[in-house]
């Protein structure tokens, strides 16, 4: 997640500084993918981390989206690849696009947070899932927006962002591993993340993360997570976990 967030910030910076996207423009995340073998460099110093960025510049100037590929390296050895597809909208277009579908007065149910230690953290402020329901077909958690978590929410948003959803998907997988398979979270890391975002996820309505056992290969730590709101799949995230050993 750290490398994904680094790549997201690079993509935003490059869009403004090199591509000339106005600061007031809105960014629309379409998809992102991360493949990583950083598990082999887990003890490397952060000062040795570098990144190369490549942009698929559209030949059609009317195309309001770009593809960014970031290759992270440690001592000139590639350790991770991040691909982000992002679109842009002017403030005026965004306002038309984002006509409110939900009242800000929507009352959300009281949720019991998942234990921090079972999703890979020590502080409850980092937990973004709750209310687990496990059946023969699926493992379902409710999303909880942690507005005071400055790592993912340092300014107001009118929707749940892709980085929040991806983090919640990762936590859902960690919770499954720790509670169902009895795997310690400090033994887990992500080697693959692939997210596709179909619709805006409203922050004023309930949102759920569902691991579908028929689609996933949980025995081999491969998870397909549907992001569901109003009984509609609004995003889909795939995660492949890896085990760390001493």
- Write the pLDDT tens digit of every residue in 53-72: 999 876 555 657 889 999 99
What are the angstrom distances between the C-alpha of 154 and each of 30, 93, 147, 157, 197? 21, 24, 8, 9, 21
Give kind and range of the element (H or E) at residue 17: helix 2-17
Q: Would you tell me which CATH number, out of the four given (3.40.640.10, 3.10.129.10, 3.40.50.10490, 3.40.50.300), belongs to the domain 110-246?
A: 3.10.129.10
pLDDT tens string 189-208:
999 999 999 999 998 889 99
Q: At what angle do helices 2-17 and 162-179 cross, to 10 degrees?
A: 170
Contact call for residues 35 and 4 (beta carbons, < 8 A): no
In this prediction the pTM is: 0.90
Q: Where are the domains of the chain?
A: 1-96, 110-246
pLDDT tens string 96-146:
888 765 544 455 567 889 999 999 999 999 999 998 899 999 999 999 988
In CATH, the number for domain 1-96 is: 3.10.129.10
Contact call for residues 68 and 7 (beta carbons, < 8 A): yes
What's the confidence (pLDDT) of residue 103?
47
Q: What is residue 206's DSSP assignment?
A: -
pLDDT above 70 for 239: yes
Confidence band, pLDDT 50/70/90 cuts, at residue 147:
confident
What's the confidence (pLDDT) of residue 44?
64
Contact call for residues 191 and 240 (beta carbons, < 8 A): yes
217 phi, psi to nearest 5 deg: -120, 75
The lowest-confidence range among 9-13, 144-148, 163-167 is 144-148
What's the confidence (pLDDT) of residue 105?
46
Distance CA 86, CA 64 (A): 9
Asked, colleague to colleague, whether 1-96 and 110-246 share their fold, the answer is yes
β-pairing, 232-243 vs 138-143, is unpaired
């Amino acid at each position: 997640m750290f490398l994904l967030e680094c790549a997201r910030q690079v993509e935003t910076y490059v869009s403004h500084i090199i591509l000339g996207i106005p600061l007031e423009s809105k960014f629309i995340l379409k998809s992102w993918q991360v493949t990583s073998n950083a598990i082999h460099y887990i003890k490397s110093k952060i000062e040795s981390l570098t990144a190369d960025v490549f942009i698929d510049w559209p030949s059609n100037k009317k195309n309001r989206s770009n593809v960014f590929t970031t290759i992270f390296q440690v001592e000139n050895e590639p350790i991770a690849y991040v691909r982000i597809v992002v679109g842009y909208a002017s403030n005026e277009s965004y306002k038309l696009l984002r006509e409110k579908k939900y009242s800000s007065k929507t009352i959300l149910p009281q949720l019991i947070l998942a234990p921090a230690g079972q999703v890979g953290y020590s502080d409850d402020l980092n937990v973004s899932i709750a209310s687990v329901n496990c059946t023969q077909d699926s493992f379902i958690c409710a999303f909880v927006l942690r507005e005071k978590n400055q790592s993912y929410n340092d300014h107001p948003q009118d929707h749940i962002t892709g980085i929040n959803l991806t983090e919640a998907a990762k936590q859902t997988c960690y919770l499954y591993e720790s509670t169902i398979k009895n795997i310690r979270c400090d033994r887990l890391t992500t080697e693959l993340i692939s997210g596709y975002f179909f619709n805006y996820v409203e922050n004023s309505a309930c949102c759920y993360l569902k691991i579908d056992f028929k689609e996933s290969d949980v025995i081999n730590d491969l998870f397909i997570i549907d992001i569901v709101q109003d009984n509609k799949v609004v995003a889909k995230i795939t995660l492949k976990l890896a085990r760390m050993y001493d």
